[in-house]
Structure 1
Amino acid sequence: MTSPAGASGLLAVTVGEPSGIGADVTLAAFAARDTRSLPPFVMLADPAMLRGRADRLGLDIRLIEIGPLEEAVGAFQDGVLPVLRLQNHQVEGPGRIDPANAAGTIEAIDRAVALALRGEVSGVVTNPIDKKALYDAGFRHPGHTEYLAELCARAGGDPVLPVMLLTGPELACVPVTIHIPLAEVPKQLTRELIIETGRITARDLVARFGLAAPRLAVSGLNPHAGERGAMGREDETVIRPAVEALRAMDIDAVGPLPADTMFHRQARERYDVALCMYHDQALIPAKTLAFDETVNCTLGLPIIRTSPDHGTAADIAGTGRARPDSFVAALRLAARMAAGGRATASAEA
């Protein structure tokens, strides 16, 4: 049952990698909340680490460690940043990876997802993690997205296929394969994976983004979408049958289309989301068009999860140079989705 905190639209925000800019962009956004009209959120972090980063950045921010989650919305409205203390300590050291921080990074994700699954918050906004730092600490998941899917599957008992949607003002796109080496893509790309990814994408665009009849443009894998088999057979034997299967499910899908002509302005007007075959095929155009405004949103989960589209940027952490635009866009998108699917696939920041 949804708690008063969840009903109020409260979002849970994880700090991500403490040596990166997760704390920077969150604190900067909160400091400018009066001009940005932010939805209320609670931070899952070490309060001392946040206090140290705020002081380093010269931000005059009041923090409060809350007890019951219901205290968070009132604190936020009173101009105080509510923080749920982690059991694991986090070290404030911008640009310096500390293995001791890994436990707190994972704990924050675990607790935020648990709060969302119980309906105590309306959604989760995650700041970037450093995968290598977590791998060194024993983390065995390809990335954030896959770990969230496992947490949700553990709670519900059913397997979850996470679908990564990158959405910005001008483009929304989905990579069918995500955090795997490029050489592995042709091996792991199957008709079934494309069909299921397209089905989940279309379903969630209706349910959470308010699109009545989503239009999917499906890219080819090879140059020129394979040139009818002359440049690789995957486009004809894997992708085209998947597109036909999606159309048989009454999903408006076209393809395979040459990826080099899918992303100019006139082409983008013909679809709502581009289904791409691998990570960089989707993320390069998305980040090129709107690096500071694009949001990473995970479809296919029983909870709402968004994230800035950038990395940890540890080289500028603690300097005040990190722009909070993508974090703010992630907050706003999560709030719009929680409010009943009144977001558009190409989200405004």
Structure 2
Amino acid sequence: MRRSRRTTAGALLAAGTLLATAAATAPAGAAPAPGPAAGPAASPPLAASAAAQQRVRDYWTPERMRSATPLDLPAPRAGTAAAPRHQGATATVAPTAPTAPAPELRSFPQPGGPWTGGGAIVKTSGRVFFTFNGRNASCSGDAVTSANGSTVLTAGHCVKYQGSWHTNWTFVPGYHDGQTPYGTWTASKTLTTPQWEASEEMNYDVGAAVVGTLDGKRLTDVVGGQGVQFNGAYNEDMYAFGFPAASPYDGTKLIHCSGRSSKDFLLTQDHGLGCNMTGGSSGGPWFASFDEAGGTGLQASVNSFGYTFLPNRMFGPYFGDEVKALYERAAGT
């Protein structure tokens, strides 16, 4: 994970990075956050045809997946972060997941470790692979309940970064030890919040993808879908999942953290959680409500970034009205 430092309001702060390892420097003098935007931004069509989707699946060989490197991004900039709007009542979308035997419950909190409980989460969560500026990269993501049965939530920088929409975008649910037990699902469209699209504002580092069918089936027909929560509360017990690839992890296993979350008091309005996940976990789901026995919950954030001076703590954006609009657009595509 790359670390950097900058001076903010006369104090020397160690700038946080996204949960990543490979270097990718943001352009200097980035624009300040824009005013209210019209709606979620969407990529140009990606692999829209069946033939195009198959070409992307063929591209992602096991060797390319193993060698893909996660992205890196600077921390939020002081004075540019607009707080997410919390205007409506709390809204939820119920999960749709396959049933599973109840596992032995784990200790709470969990600062970071392999998920051994089974349940729906081992199918709905997965690794994300894409090409960014000519190199292969990776993140994490999660299949969620949706009208189209084909929606994946991830981080904004996992669909678009430095003005470029990623290509060859693929979701691999249930990835483990180099295996793709539920196939590889190619995006026909990726989307992000207007705030991330315009100025890569960390409060809105959320992305979505609409994936094509595979063997005539939709994504959530095969793996199920987690629920989603918007306009929820801060300072709740939360669970986070992802596929970190930087030491001490290697990207081959689903890792989880759990504990009482808190609101970022520095440069964002994000949720914070004690967690030692590293590069590659960006975009993995956070749950404000999670049933360990069945592995299902209500997703309320994604892995986004960390501050260097707060080791073993990561942050994820608040799911407010803007993220709700993003989800609705993706789910209705």
What is the TM-score with the length of structure 2 in the denominator? 0.24
> Which has the larger Rg?
1
Higher helix share: 1
Higher strand share: 2
